[in-house]
Amino acid sequence: MSLPLTQLPGVSTRIAELFARLGILTVDDLLFHLPLRYEDRTQIKPLATVKVGQTVLIEGTIQASEVKQGKRRSLVCTLSDGSSTIILRFFHFYPAQQHQLQAGAKLRCFGEIRQGYSGLELVHPQYERINYSPVHNPLADHLTPIYPSNAHLNQSVFYTLIEQILTTQDIVDYIPIQIQHQFKLLPLTTALQLLHQPPPTVALAALQSSTHPARRRLAFEELLAHHLSLYTLRAQAYHRQAPSLNNRGQLGQQLLAQLPFQLTAAQQKVYAEITTDLRATHPMQRLVQGDVGSGKTIVAALSALQAIESGYQVAVMAPTELLSEQHMRTFSQWLQPFAIEIVWLTGSLTKKKRDQALANLASGQAALAIGTHALFQKEVEFARLGLVIIDEQHRFGVHQRLALRNKGSSSGYYPHQLIMTATPIPRTLAMTAYADLDTSIIDELPPGRTPVNTAVIPNTRREEVIERIRYACQQEDRQAYWVCTLIEESEVLQYQAAKDTAEQLHQALPQLRIGIIHGRMKAKEKEKVMAQFQGGQIDLLVATTVIEVGVDVPNASLMIIENAERLGLAQLHQLRGRVGRGVLPSYCVLLYQLPLSDIAKSRLATIRDTHDGFAIAQKDLEIRGPGEVLGTRQTGTMNLRIADLQRDQDLLSDIIHAAKMLFNEYPEHCQHLIQRWVKEGLHYGEV
Ligand code: ADP
Ligand code: MG
């Protein structure tokens, strides 16, 4: 079934090309190309029974036919079937057509009933001339599907080919009967038959609205296939060799002893899970989820030390330069007593420094590399890479992760992988989207944190907000962020907005030391500004959303987010997580532009009233859909054709079960399913 379309009789390369434009390359692709909607041409409706808005098939004889001048010239025919009459109206018509549509002509018409001036009308109906013998004009015996198509392929091509596939090809159901029964799934051919050629009695509304068992069966199969592809990836990892990082954990003990705080129970639990994984001889693939501020960094540092103690190198990757700088500072400070050489690798290093860094990694002299995706690049070679830590992973796609994993493979080993994310993802969704990973959750914040007091305020009250900043910075000796948001991705515009805002704030608050940070600054400049802010030499930091992830300045207790209505909930939650990192009360002001839509209002209210990242993620999922919530991961790996993670969420827990059964009992079916549904899945095997 993964045969190219040209294998079907009647499909020329030209037609195959037209199908290719719709993304239909194989027989399978065509079979799973589902109708958008259906038309009922199975029965002829008596005119006396039709109603406005119905799309119907009718038959009758033309009683009268004339061209009316009116506002727009039109050909108007009165059609009668004995039970009633209806008007057929044509604004465009050829003389030949006019000739055809004379009084006395018998027609079968299909169209939507509308209300005209003087009764019911069909405007430009599809029609054919008939003689009343049913032998010559048989009715359709199933509903007529309308397929998504383009201007070049008309519907009849679909009908013919799909009919051909359904009747002559062997459609294999890769979900075994036993599993079909257990999860109440229709057999594949039944589902396809129903969708492509539904009987007139079918519940049409359900069939079109995706709640029909036939559609659900296909959605199930598609999600199952995606799940299996990730699951396979994970199973492969168990057969790979990784260095067993088995040691007494002395470095970690030493670091813990010198910290000004104790790990929370949740941090300890996750650290223990990681330690166990690292001792194994196959690569760890663990996702650590933890809300903003839950203290993921120290867990990462402890894990790094376990690898280093065994003589292996560690790569820590962050999604932004800013964050990588901060990790550089934090790790340098924590690891200082151990005399460990750390290199920093980002896109903005000078050639000389970069060469030096590369040499230190290749020789093994540097035990720890911290950087951005610059760590992925080909020239980066490690002597003994044992552990890869990826922070805030929602920004990275699965393929990037695989690329980094292969960095260690030259030594015959695959490095362990630790992935940390602050974007909490609802459980079943996480299990589907991250089926290749084991998950740990840091479900507790360090003690003494108070929730950030959040206010939603219109931009018209800006002055008050500015006064609030003055008070916090001058009277209370605290620091503040002002975040400028723009919808445009353009860094130039973002930069301009931040600059303008900083200027205005400077006018309004001349006594404050105001700094600015944005994506166009050189790494060095950003680093300097952040160091100043951290050191308390800047009171108010005006920033673009570059500070979204990870930045940690405990004395900053006030954040203003301008045009908050433009940002996603998860992003707002992340931003807000920059304050409330110390023990003192902190505040977040969501400034919005009037007028505000109802949806926007309820979204901002969600942020104001909720501090639990998981609850916010669930809301975000409802409002924006999983594509946004999962970020690159979803767009990169799950190109769903029929299923919808949002709509079909309730299938996920069954899918997780079914996947386990298939994987253990029908391994060869798994490969077929993956091949059928996951185009990218094919090269998972090679990495
Ligand atoms: P995130 O999980 O958002 O990355 P961080 O690792 O940046 O959070 O930690 C946030 C802050 O909390 C840091 O200043 C960190 O030093 C501090 N921290 C981490 N763990 C604890 C703890 N167990 N007790 C007190 N403070 C902690
Ligand atoms: Mg972090």
pLDDT digit string (tens) for 622-644?
766 555 555 434 333 456 788 88
**What pLDDT does 237 receive?**
81
**What pLDDT does 613 receive?**
82
Asked if residue 462 and residue 409 are part of one domain, the reply reads: no
Asked if residue 378 and residue 305 are part of one domain, the reply reads: yes
> Which atom from ligand 1 is nearest to the alpha carbon of 554?
14
Of 12, 188, 157, which Cα lies nearest the Cα of 676? 188
Residue 109 Cα to ligand 2 middle (Å): 65
DSSP label at 175?
S
Q: Domain of 276: which CATH number?
A: 3.40.50.300
**What pLDDT does 624 receive?**
60
Taking phi over 0 as left and psi of -120 to 50 as alpha, with beta for the rest, 254 belongs to alpha
Q: Is residue 447 part of a domain?
A: no
Residue where one domain finishes, among candidates 580, 610, 640: 610
Residue where one domain finishes, among candidates 610, 644, 673: 610
285 three-class SS: strand
Q: Is residue 418 part of a domain?
A: yes
Asked if residue 295 and residue 171 are part of one domain, the reply reads: no
Asked if residue 465 and residue 343 are part of one domain, the reply reads: no
* Number of domains, the chain: 4
pLDDT at 90 over 80: yes
Determine what percent of the chain is predicted with pLDDT higher than 70.
Answer: 90
Cβ–Cβ contacts within 10 Å for residue 480, how many?
27
Residue 290 Cα to ligand 2 middle (Å): 9
Residue nearest to atom 4 of ligand 1 (CA): 296
> Which atom from ligand 1 is nearest to the alpha carbon of 330?
16
Q: Is residue 553 part of a domain?
A: yes
Q: What is the sign of the dihedral through the CA atoms of 285, 290, 292 and 295?
A: negative
The pLDDT confidence band at residue 409, using thresholds 50, 70 and 90, is low
pLDDT digit string (tens) for 351-378?
999 999 999 999 999 999 999 888 878 8
Of 627, 628, 629, which Cα lies nearest the Cα of 617? 629
Output the average pLDDT for the chain: 87
Asked if residue 595 and residue 524 are part of one domain, the reply reads: yes
Residue nearest to atom 24 of ligand 1 (CA): 446
pLDDT digit string (tens) for 58-78?
999 999 999 998 888 999 999
pLDDT digit string (tens) for 94-146?
999 899 999 999 999 999 999 988 899 999 999 988 876 655 678 888 999 99
Q: Domain of 79: which CATH number?
A: 2.40.50.140
Asked if residue 594 and residue 534 are part of one domain, the reply reads: yes
Q: Are 515 and 535 in contact (CB under 8 A)?
A: no
Q: Is residue 413 part of a domain?
A: yes
Q: What is the sign of the dihedral through the CA atoms of 573, 576, 581 and 584?
A: negative
Asked if residue 98 and residue 152 are part of one domain, the reply reads: no
> Which atom from ligand 1 is nearest to the alpha carbon of 299?
6
DSSP label at 680?
G
pLDDT at 22 over 70: yes
Residue 137 Cα to ligand 1 middle (Å): 76
Please report which ligand is nearest the Cα atom of 446.
1
> Which atom from ligand 1 is nearest to the alpha carbon of 552?
7
Residue nearest to atom 9 of ligand 1 (CA): 295
447 three-class SS: coil
Cα of 170 vs its chain's centroid, Å:
34
Q: Is residue 376 part of a domain?
A: yes
Asked if residue 380 and residue 262 are part of one domain, the reply reads: yes
Instruction: Give the list of residues 6+ apart from residue 198 with CB closer than 8 angstroms, or none.
Output: 38, 142, 143, 145, 204, 207
pLDDT digit string (tens) for 182-191?
999 999 999 9
Please report which ligand is nearest the Cα atom of 259.
1
Asked if residue 283 and residue 425 are part of one domain, the reply reads: yes
Q: Are 167 and 115 in contact (CB under 8 A)?
A: no
Residue nearest to atom 17 of ligand 1 (CA): 295
Residue where one domain finishes, among candidates 568, 587, 610: 610
Lowest-confidence pick of 128-142, 402-416, 557-571:
402-416
**H or E segment and range at residue 417:** strand 416-421
Q: Is residue 639 part of a domain?
A: no
Of 554, 486, 550, 553, which Cα lies nearest the Cα of 520? 486
Residue 391 Cα to ligand 1 middle (Å): 14
Asked if residue 545 and residue 436 are part of one domain, the reply reads: no
pLDDT digit string (tens) for 236-287?
888 889 999 999 999 999 999 999 999 999 999 999 999 999 999 999 999 9
Residue 292 Cα to ligand 1 middle (Å): 9
Q: Is residue 635 part of a domain?
A: no
465 three-class SS: helix
> Which atom from ligand 1 is nearest to the alpha carbon of 300?
6
Residue 463 corresponds to which amino acid?
E
Residue 462 Cα to ligand 1 middle (Å): 32
Residue 362 Cα to ligand 2 middle (Å): 28
DSSP 41-60: -SSPPPGGG--TT-EEEEEE
Asked if residue 112 and residue 9 are part of one domain, the reply reads: no
Instruction: Give the list of residues 6+ apart from residue 327 with CB closer than 8 angstroms, or none.
Output: 297, 316, 318, 370, 391, 550
Asked if residue 157 and residue 18 are part of one domain, the reply reads: yes
Residue 145 corresponds to which amino acid?
P
Is the model's pTM score more than 0.75?
Answer: no
Substitution site in 256, 264, 269, 298 for ligand 1 pocket (most atoms within 8 Å of beta carbon): 298
Query: Which residues does ligand 1 sit against, CB inside 6 Å?
Result: 261-264, 267, 290, 292-298, 422, 446, 550, 552, 554, 581
Residue 90 Cα to ligand 2 middle (Å): 66
Q: Is residue 408 part of a domain?
A: yes
Residue nearest to atom 10 of ligand 1 (CA): 293
Residue 78 Cα to ligand 2 middle (Å): 74
Domain that holds residue 76: 47-139
Q: Kindly state the average pLDDT of the residues 323-345.
A: 92
